[in-house]
Structure 1
Amino acid sequence: MSQVLRFEAHAFGRPYHAARVRIPARSRDTELHTHADFHEFMGVVSGSGEHLLTTGVEQLRPGDVVLVRPSDRHAVRGSTPDGLEFVNVAFPSSIWQGFLDLTRTVTWSSRGPITFHQPAAIAVFEQALTRFQDNPSSYDLVRFWIDLMELLAPVDTAAPGVPDWLARACTAMRAEQNLRGGVPRLLELAGVSPAHLSRSMRTSYGVTPTAFVTDLRLEHAASLLAATNTSIAAIATRCGFTSQSYFTRTFTAAHDLPPRDFRRRSQRAFVP
């Protein structure tokens, strides 16, 4: 079972949370966990380590930047001889999605956390940490995102590798009313044939349209479970699942625990 971490219990009304984390070599792994209602960027400062994922293990080195989403399960381990040091910046998923919609930035890729290597980005993390220690504002969070996206843009935004029509369609699918429409709605937004959409999704993001929509639905469902008292049946309907039982099976497979338990555990305090 993975722990479910919640943003607000630790952030205390601040727009984001930042921390410097040091994991000694040969120490115990951090606990395998998911995020109930927030995204997180990790910037590796020094040392080396491993990112433990349900899909395998990724090596971490200085200059790596990792985006972790609510649907991802992960833990971190320090390697010999120096362990691992990183700065993490966590922020509510709802605000992040608004930023993505406004800027038409695509940071969604294949299943699992998304890793970039951009050493220059570590200075952006250090700046966000410094601002966090002095009563940060929402502007400080937006500045962190903008500064980071400018560095990650060659591999992280819609141009030049992702067609504009696909970027627009994928961004629009974050809206709840479009999620309910599923792949047929994605096709309408894209304005292309099913075969062309499938080829383009695989080329640009490495997944099928169905997997893309399912992950967005699960991410939205996790946020609703953590932040509202809406019934599970209503959440299933709002996210576009055909039945509560199908939603429960799909959610349990993704999170290793059913929606009801996820909601209960999401009340635990956020741990950076």
Structure 2
Amino acid sequence: MQSETFHLDSYIAASEAFHYARKNLARRFPQKAHDHDFYEVFLIVDGRTAHWINGVTQMLEPGQLVFMRPADTHAFRADRLQGCEIINIMFRTESADHLIKRYSDTLAGRFFASKSDIPELHTLGPTRFKRALNVASQLQTADRSLARIEEFLLTLTNRVAVPETRAVRTAPRWFSAACNAAQHPEVFRDGAAGFIAAAGRSHEHVCRTCKDVLGVTPTDYINRIRIDHAAQLLRTEDSSIEAIAATCGFQNTSYFYRLFERAYQTTPRRYRTEHQRDPFDASDAP
């Protein structure tokens, strides 16, 4: 497919930092694909679309979020019956370059800084999809300022996109969906059994796929999610350690302690002491 280059200055003024659009895609491929002199993020809101990207055709559905880079060449064809509605945000290369440099520990090689042949695709679960719609829609009436686009991108990469998606983007769709579901307390509280139930496949099939894709067992995978959630609660809540362990699905406190120390190289109590400070008591500062 022949291509052309789209220029951000055709969409925004020199004083603006980004462009927001919510639109319905055409139900046929354009005569030419396009690349860009900018970065963009798009979210499938409703319907389905074929996405021709760098010579590969994907089928995208609601809740799928894509981080496009300037050199990526793509085109869309909405489903002829369902159509397809997307939210699209374009932003300057300087904004992405600044964030990648400033937050290299989080962004290097990921999201819009991915080095893969195909741009990074995230399949969002219901909660994260709703959050993505909310934070993206807020840009519609926002000032087109640098502060707003940077705030949006940091929210998107830290609180919306699922970290595990990078590892599972080439995995079967059912497995990606199970990994997204595993981020929710109602699933991870049940441990590996909850993950396997969310996958809707046999225990042996899930174990084999998990090992092939992630290199770990379902138990190891779900336990890390539970331990990371426990760490968040230790930083932000005053509940007892035993209560936090139970909230994360651990009925055996000793087992919880062992897993936590293995993951964070410290005890839950010491972790809380080091990370939970009283914001109204300066004497509590390190």
Band of TM-score, shorter chain? 0.5 to 0.7
SS at match of 2:132: helix
TM-score between the two structures when normalised by the length of structure 1: 0.52
Instruction: Give 1:18's aligned residue.
Output: 20
Instruction: Give 1:97's aligned residue.
Output: 97
Deviation per CA, 1:39-75, whole angstroms, max 9, x where unpaired?
Answer: 0001111101111123310110111011111111100
Deviation per CA, 1:55-104, whole angstroms, max 9, x where unpaired?
Answer: 31011011101111111110011014211111011101121111011111
Q: 1:127 aligns with which of 131, 135, 147?
A: 135
> Structure 1 residues 84 and 57 mapped into 2: Cα distance closer, same or farther (>3 Å)?
same
SS at match of 2:155: helix
* Contact 1:3/1:33, CA 8 A, preserved across alignment: yes
Instruction: Give 1:219's aligned residue.
Output: none
How far the C-alpha of 1:109 sits from its partner, in A, is 3.5
> Structure 1 residues 137 and 125 mapped into 2: Cα distance closer, same or farther (>3 Å)?
farther
Partners of 2:103 and 2:39 lie apart in 1 by 17
Partners of 1:11 and 1:129 lie apart in 2 by 18
Q: Which has the larger radius of gyration?
A: 2
Q: 1:142 aligns with which of 140, 144, 150?
A: 150
* Contact 1:45/1:122, CA 8 A, preserved across alignment: no
* Contact 1:40/1:90, CA 8 A, preserved across alignment: yes
SS at match of 2:90: strand
Instruction: Give 1:34's aligned residue.
Output: 35
Instruction: Give 1:60's aligned residue.
Output: 60
**Count of matched residue positions in the alignment of Structure 1 and Structure 2:** 157
SS at match of 2:94: helix
Return 5+ residue gaps in structure 2 as ranges.
168-212, 215-286
> Structure 1 residues 14 and 128 mapped into 2: Cα distance closer, same or farther (>3 Å)?
farther
Higher relative CO (CA 8 A, sep ≥ 6), structure 1 or 2?
1
* Contact 2:41/2:88, CA 8 A, preserved across alignment: yes
> Structure 1 residues 141 and 19 mapped into 2: Cα distance closer, same or farther (>3 Å)?
same
Please, what is the CA RMSD of the aligned residues?
2.5
Partners of 1:122 and 1:29 lie apart in 2 by 29
Q: 1:117 aligns with which of 110, 117, 123?
A: 123
In the alignment, is residue 69 of structure 1 matched against residue 69 of structure 2? yes
How far the C-alpha of 1:113 sits from its partner, in A, is 2.2
The letter for the 2-side match of 1:154 is P
Partners of 1:14 and 1:56 lie apart in 2 by 33
TM-score between the two structures when normalised by the length of structure 2: 0.50
The letter for the 2-side match of 1:110 is S
